[in-house]
Amino acid sequence: MIKATGLIFLGPPGSGKGTQAQLLSKLAGIPHISTGEILREAIDLQTPLGQQAKIYVERGELVPDSLILDLIRERLAQADTEQGWILDGFPRNVNQAIFLDNLLSELNHRSEHVVNLEVPQEVLVERLLLRGRKDDTEETIRRRLQVYQDQTFPLIEYYRQQSKLCAVNGNRLPEEVTESLTKMMKG
Ligand code: ADP
């Protein structure tokens, strides 16, 4: 028996997945799990995880899987995920995606939709520069987009083969994107 179904956000840095994930989580009353946010908080609080992750996040590299996988396992096993969940920033490479598939079947959860928010590259760079988060310097942005191309982009094909991929045009007003996403979740 499936206990919970979830939504996975793919999409490059700057595609708006964090904004949309947060909104949908409020609308649907299910938790928003952002690995980027978890890591930034750990870095600010200087926890052991934060101390290990800092150098990677500042360079725009992925942190090693060993820092992320247990964290996801523990988070998805918490009781508040039983009505569903939204993952933002995980999985980010093929190893993480395979881990997640195994974890979800262990927990009797299922990923129903995998959303790829599509935004042209030049718009992404513009948005990220405007956003000005701590790790949004021009050099890190370039690095993060490259890491996305090399490691995360292959997941689009991975989920297409599982017939879970939903491409959504992210180059529109945020409320238009939200509308498409809520329709998708209902449909
Ligand atoms: P963005 O999508 O804008 O790059 P995130 O908040 O998702 O921002 O991630 C910020 C940083 O946190 C990434 O550049 C990376 O260093 C790290 N990170 C987040 N999620 C993961 C993950 N699943 N695996 C490895 N590193 C991650």
The CA–CA distances, whole Å, from 142 to 61, 117, 138, 156, 159 equal 11, 19, 6, 20, 25
The residue whose CA has the least distance to atom 18 of ligand 1 is 36
| Model pLDDT, residue 132 | 85
- Regions in the chain scoring below 50 on pLDDT: none
Q: How close is the Cα of 123 to the center of ligand 1, in Å?
A: 19
> What is the number of the ligand 1 atom nearest to the C-alpha of 64?
25
Q: Which helix (H) or strand (E) segment is 115 a member of?
A: strand 109-118
Cα distance between residue 64 and residue 90, in whole Å: 13
| Model pLDDT, residue 45 | 98
Neighbours of 50 (CB within 10 A): 18
Residues with CB under 6 A from ligand 1: 13, 35-36, 39, 56-57, 60-63, 68, 89-90, 92, 96, 144
| Model pLDDT, residue 18 | 96
The mean pLDDT of the chain is 95
